[in-house]
């Protein structure tokens, strides 16, 4: 499964962890995946979300209002084992992207506020080289389900790759996570967002 992910989709997986760290959350949920997709406005998912008026800062503010910062009590399962079953290794993601696109490729693709690297707090950093481990933050069952569903969405569309569009479709298909709830609370329907994704894909194929 890992090999099917595009550079942008791999970057979104890593960025979801960065977003969780910025919010001092000790888990990665569907909401962090949503923020990660919004962090790359040039991707299909980013274009669709921003075209529908979904802005990163507004989503972040709503997320903080709902769950706050520094949420504790997530399952103790580490990233490596949590994602191993679906073939994703966060450190391997970063290494492979940088091998293909050069050092700092993910940093160029995802313009996160200064917290993911030099600005990361000592509490969240845990040391290590730039391309090394971020430390372990578990993906929630719903977030892992989103990544699994992204593969199904790609197969359903007859695509041999998994892009940010498929991750977004997986997030919508899961439908019960906080990310989907936030989108619905903003007056959007799951069906309308899916329609926009397919429309954007049609444009890219023209």
What does 98-158 look like in DSSP terms, one character per residue? HHHH-TTHHHHH----TTSSTT--HHHH----TTS-----PBPHHHHHHHHHHHHHHHHTT
CATH number of the domain encompassing residue 94: 1.10.1780.10
Domain of residue 135 covers 2-205
Give the predicted TM-score (pTM) of the model: 0.68
pLDDT in tens, 3-31: 788 999 999 988 999 999 888 898 899 99
Structural domains in the chain (count): 1
Give the Cβ contact number of residue 140 at 10 Å: 21
pLDDT tens per residue, range 37-70? 999 988 999 999 999 999 888 889 888 888 777 7
């Amino acid at each position: 499964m890992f090999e099917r992910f595009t550079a942008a989709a791999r970057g979104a997986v890593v960025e979801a962890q960065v977003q969780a760290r910025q919010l001092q959350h000790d888990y990665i949920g569907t909401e962090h995946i949503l923020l990660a997709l919004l962090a790359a406005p040039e991707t299909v998912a980013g274009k669709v979300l921003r075209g529908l008026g979904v802005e990163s800062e507004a989503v972040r503010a709503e997320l903080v209002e709902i769950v706050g910062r520094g949420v504790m009590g997530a399952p103790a399962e580490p990233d490596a084992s949590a994602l191993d079953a679906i073939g994703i290794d966060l450190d391997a993601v970063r290494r492979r992207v940088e091998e293909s696109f050069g050092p700092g490729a993910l940093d160029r693709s995802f313009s996160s506020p200064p917290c993911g690297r030099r600005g990361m707090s000592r509490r969240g950093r845990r040391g290590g080289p730039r391309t090394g481990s971020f430390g372990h933050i578990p993906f929630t069952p719903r977030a892992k389900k989103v990544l699994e569903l992204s593969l199904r969405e790609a197969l359903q569309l007859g695509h041999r790759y998994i892009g940010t569009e498929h991750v977004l479709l997986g997030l919508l298909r899961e439908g019960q996570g906080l990310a989907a709830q936030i989108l619905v609370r903003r007056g959007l329907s799951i069906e309308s967002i899916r329609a926009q994704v397919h429309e954007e894909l049609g444009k890219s194929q023209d």
